[in-house]
């Protein structure tokens, strides 16, 4: 793939880093359910998923999507979750994605950062 073609394709990439603070009673199933809600609202499709639970607490859940991935890391002792969402599908605007994330995690404080890649 040439650099110009890659740059054109990059415009379709959506990469977000989402930090969820003050997510009380954060358990992996709660975060997983919220992530599945987010995936559904974004019209994305789960191909495969896997979870690793840590002792004494915390987990990492990975969703392989038909258009890329969503990965969640939880720290229940800090009421915190970190989400990495990357999609090659650009079906929603940045504003729509922000709104959907805020709605999905409405009882928590969400910090959302869209990653930008130089062309």
For residue 51, report the phi and psi dihedrals to the nearest 5 degrees. Answer: -130, 140
Q: Which of 15, 88, 89, 98 is catalytic?
A: 88
Active-site option among 49, 68, 69, 89: 68
Q: Do 108 and 23 form a contact (C-beta atoms < 8 A)?
A: yes
Residues of the chain whose pLDDT is less than 50? Answer: none
User: Which pLDDT score is estimated for 89?
Assistant: 74
Q: What pLDDT, on a 0 to 100 scale, did the predictor assign at position 46?
A: 96
Tokens of 56: 């004494």
68 belongs to the catalytic site? yes
- Domains of the chain, first to last: 23-114 (3.60.90.10)
Global confidence as pTM? 0.80
Please name which of 71, 73, 69 lies closest in space to residue 89, comparing C-alpha atoms: 69
Among 73, 82, 89, 98, which one carries the catalytic annotation?
Answer: 73
Query: What is the predicted pLDDT for the residue at 27?
Result: 60
Catalytic site includes residue 73: yes
Q: Which residues pair with 14 in a beta bridge?
A: 87
- The pLDDT value recorded for residue 49 is 95
Instruction: Give me the residues paired with residue 50 across strands.
Output: 62
């Amino acid at each position: 793939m040439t650099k110009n073609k890659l740059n054109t394709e990059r415009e379709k990439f959506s990469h977000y880093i989402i930090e969820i603070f003050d997510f009380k009673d954060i358990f992996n199933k709660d975060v997983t359910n919220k992530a599945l809600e987010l995936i559904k609202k974004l019209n994305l499709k789960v191909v495969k998923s896997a979870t690793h639970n840590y002792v004494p607490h915390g987990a990492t859940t990975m969703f392989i999507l038909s258009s890329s991935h969503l990965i969640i890391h939880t720290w229940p002792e800090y009421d915190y979750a970190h989400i990495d969402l990357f999609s090659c599908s650009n079906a929603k605007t940045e504003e729509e994605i922000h709104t959907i994330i805020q709605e999905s995690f409405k009882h928590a404080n969400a910090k959302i950062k869209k990653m930008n890649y130089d062309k």
